[in-house]
């Protein structure tokens, strides 16, 4: 059977690219529901001022872009560009902002992979506001919006085809390849070929467009030299080639490198691309690796991102690698079907590194699913009113479990009893009828109860979480490790304020 010619492959790639270029501008940008509500409340306040409004607006990258698009007619025929959000607010006015928010489609929660890109975009913008401002002696947030919008072509792709983007992004992480390289296989064309045409389907600041025009696949030799040459040879090259020097140290190159570095922090599981872009970024900024790492960690800890991007999406947890499965040396002498104590200990250590309650609960879910190897898991949060699902595994087509809640003040059941004091229960096959009868009916009606473990977790002497895990082969070994993971969570919560 003959292989397709290069010409046919090229034509197919070009046609797929054309389809995407036509598709992307057709989808309106949705905005975050909670942030929109906060902005509307602030706009109704007579004491509302532009800096306060800007701090809320910048929490939603899609809204920032939507408002930027309102400036197209305002900027026509004028020199310059939008410098920062306060400038943007003054240009379009409060009434226009209110109109845009009122008329926009609102979403409560974008897909997980889309949240990754949005969180990375926000962190990159904050990073640029510090690092590029310092390098170029800028006194305002002039680099925030241009850096924030760098990934906007990916935002539009997520809005247009979330399933395709989710598959490509998941593979990029799990296979430990760059996001751009792997997307070629899913999309049928080179992603940079689409990105460098951004000006044809999206209105963006000039600095952003110049950064997006940097296509590494078409200038491999330049970036390879900038990466591999010694400091002495790099200085000699730039002394001989002023044009190359100007390109490398330009603001668009800084925006490009910061975004590629942050995307690598979020999606590169083995660190190859983090090291590569980290080295290039250090050279661009004229700082050493330690100074870059300190700046990144400091900003990752102190950058105020909205709750939507907390937990394992928070920059500090991505920088620390808490979103990855723990590294544990494979032991060929151990049965892969059995739980490995070293792996459980690695997960417990990862739980202990959590810097807030939500992160600890997310890592605990991963520890139970990937470490202990349970079939279903529900982590329920306990507040002053009820017990409700916070996160779960194995219930993809079960909205009733995802939305489960039980009023522990009025309903007397096993769950209510377990939040009176810390406890851990193992339910065998023989105990199933008795245990099922004691659980809340709205839980057992939508969850086929199997041999399982139940664990209550307390934080500052108050009930914080209730965990349900099951497996058809639930035994003493699984229960022992389930309890160990729960103990690690309880100890971690005791140290969190």
Q: Are residues 252 and 367 in the same domain?
A: no
Residues 153-164: what's their mean pLDDT? 89
Q: Are residues 103 and 230 in the same domain?
A: no
Residue 176 has pLDDT above 80, yes or no: no
Report if residue 9 sits inside a domain: no
DSSP tag of 224: H
pLDDT digits (tens, 9 = 90+) for 15-44: 888 888 888 888 889 999 999 999 999 998
More confident residue, 416 or 170: 416
> 132-141, 178-187, 345-354, 366-375: lowest mean pLDDT where?
178-187
Q: Are residues 436 and 489 in the same domain?
A: yes
Q: Are residues 247 and 290 in the same domain?
A: yes
Residue 347 has pLDDT above 60, yes or no: yes
Report the chain's mean pLDDT, rounded to a whole number.
Answer: 85
Q: Are residues 98 and 239 in the same domain?
A: no
Residue 81 has pLDDT above 80, yes or no: no
Model confidence at 80, pLDDT cuts 50, 70, 90, reads: low
Q: Are residues 92 and 113 in the same domain?
A: no
Structurally, the chain folds into a number of domains equal to 3
Model confidence at 79, pLDDT cuts 50, 70, 90, reads: very low
Report if residue 173 sits inside a domain: yes
Q: How far apart are CA 310 and CA 458, in angstroms?
A: 21
Residues 87-116: what's their mean pLDDT? 89
Q: Please, which residues have CB within 8 angstroms of residue 150's CB and are 6 or more apart in sequence?
A: 121, 124, 208, 211, 212, 255, 256, 259
Please name the residue that has the structure tokens 């008795």.
434
Report if residue 321 sits inside a domain: no
Residue 286 has pLDDT above 70, yes or no: yes
Asked which of 60, 85, 107 is the last residue of a domain, the reply is 107
Which among 321-325, 484-488, 491-495 has the top mean pLDDT?
A: 484-488
What percentage of the chain reaches a pLDDT higher than 90?
Answer: 43
Residues 65-72: what's their mean pLDDT? 87
Model confidence at 1, pLDDT cuts 50, 70, 90, reads: very low
Residue 474 has pLDDT above 50, yes or no: yes
Report if residue 329 sits inside a domain: no
Residue 186 has pLDDT above 80, yes or no: no
Model confidence at 175, pLDDT cuts 50, 70, 90, reads: very low
Instruction: Give, in order, the Cα–Cα distances in Å from 135 to each of 64, 124, 254, 340, 439.
Output: 25, 16, 10, 49, 61
Q: 494 exposed, middle or buried (CB, 10 Å; 0-12, 13-18, 19+)?
A: exposed
Report if residue 67 sits inside a domain: yes
- pLDDT score, position 300: 87
Model confidence at 497, pLDDT cuts 50, 70, 90, reads: low
- pLDDT score, position 73: 59
Question: Range of 428's domain?
Answer: 342-494
Residue 97 has pLDDT above 60, yes or no: yes
- pLDDT score, position 397: 79
Q: Are residues 154 and 181 in the same domain?
A: yes
Report if residue 11 sits inside a domain: no
Strands 405-406 and 387-393: antiparallel
CATH number of the domain enclosing 441: 3.30.450.40
Q: Are residues 58 and 152 in the same domain?
A: no
Q: Are residues 39 and 117 in the same domain?
A: no
Report if residue 393 sits inside a domain: yes
* Tokens at 81, concatenated: 């560009």
Q: Are residues 352 and 274 in the same domain?
A: no
Residue 50 has pLDDT above 50, yes or no: yes
Model confidence at 328, pLDDT cuts 50, 70, 90, reads: low
Report if residue 330 sits inside a domain: no
Q: Are residues 88 and 125 in the same domain?
A: no
Asked which of 107, 129, 164 is the last residue of a domain, the reply is 107
More confident residue, 218 or 415: 415
Q: Are residues 115 and 95 in the same domain?
A: no
């Amino acid at each position: 059977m003959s292989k397709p010619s290069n010409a046919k492959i090229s034509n197919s790639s070009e046609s797929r690219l054309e389809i995407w270029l036509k598709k992307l501008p057709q989808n309106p940008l949705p905005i975050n529901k909670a942030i929109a509500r906060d902005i509307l409340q602030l706009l109704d306040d007579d004491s509302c001022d532009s800096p306060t409004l800007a701090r809320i607006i910048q929490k939603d990258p899609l809204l920032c872009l939507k408002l930027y698009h309102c400036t197209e007619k305002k900027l026509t025929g004028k020199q310059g560009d939008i410098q920062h959000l306060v400038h943007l607010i003054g240009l379009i006015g409060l009434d226009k902002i209110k109109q845009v928010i009122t008329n926009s489609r609102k979403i409560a929660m974008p897909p997980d992979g889309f949240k990754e890109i949005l969180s990375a975009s926000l962190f990159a913008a904050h990073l640029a506001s510090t690092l590029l401002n310092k390098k170029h002696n800028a006194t305002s947030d002039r680099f925030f919006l241009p850096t924030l919008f760098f990934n906007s072509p990916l935002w539009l792709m997520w809005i247009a085809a979330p399933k395709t983007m989710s598959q490509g992004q998941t593979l990029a992480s799990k296979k430990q390849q760059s996001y751009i390289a792997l997307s070629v296989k899913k999309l049928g064309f080179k992603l940079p070929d689409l990105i460098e045409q951004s000006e044809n389907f999206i209105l963006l600041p000039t600095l952003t467009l110049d950064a997006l025009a940097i296509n590494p696949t078409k200038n491999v030799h330049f970036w390879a030299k900038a990466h591999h040459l010694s400091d002495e040879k790099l200085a000699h090259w730039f002394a001989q080639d002023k044009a190359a020097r100007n390109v490398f140290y330009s603001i668009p190159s800084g925006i490009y490198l910061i975004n590629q570095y942050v995307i690598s922090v979020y999606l590169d599981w083995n660190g190859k691309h983090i090291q590569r872009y980290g080295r290039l970024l250090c050279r661009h900024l004229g700082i050493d690796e330690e100074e870059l790492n300190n700046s990144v960690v400091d900003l990752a800890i102190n950058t105020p991102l909205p709750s939507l991007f907390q937990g394992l999406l928070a920059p500090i947890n991505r920088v620390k690698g808490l979103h990855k499965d723990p590294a544990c040396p494979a032991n060929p002498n151990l049965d892969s079907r059995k739980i490995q104590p070293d792996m459980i200990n690695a997960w417990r250590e990862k739980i202990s590194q959590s810097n807030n309650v939500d992160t600890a609960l997310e890592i605990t879910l991963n520890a139970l699913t990937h470490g202990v190897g349970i079939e279903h898991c529900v982590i329920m949060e306990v507040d002053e009113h009820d017990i409700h699902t916070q996160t779960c595994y194995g219930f993809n087509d079960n909205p009733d479990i995802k939305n489960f809640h039980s009023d522990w003040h009025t309903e007397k059941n096993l769950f209510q009893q377990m939040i009176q004091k810390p406890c851990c229960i193992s339910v065998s096959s023989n105990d199933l009828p008795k245990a099922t009868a004691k659980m809340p009916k709205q839980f057992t009606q939508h969850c086929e109860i199997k041999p399982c473990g139940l664990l209550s977790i307390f934080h500052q002497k108050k009930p914080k979480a209730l965990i349900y895990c099951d497996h058809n082969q639930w035994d003493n070994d699984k229960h022992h490790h389930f309890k160990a993971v729960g103990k690690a969570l309880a100890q971690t919560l005791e140290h969190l304020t």
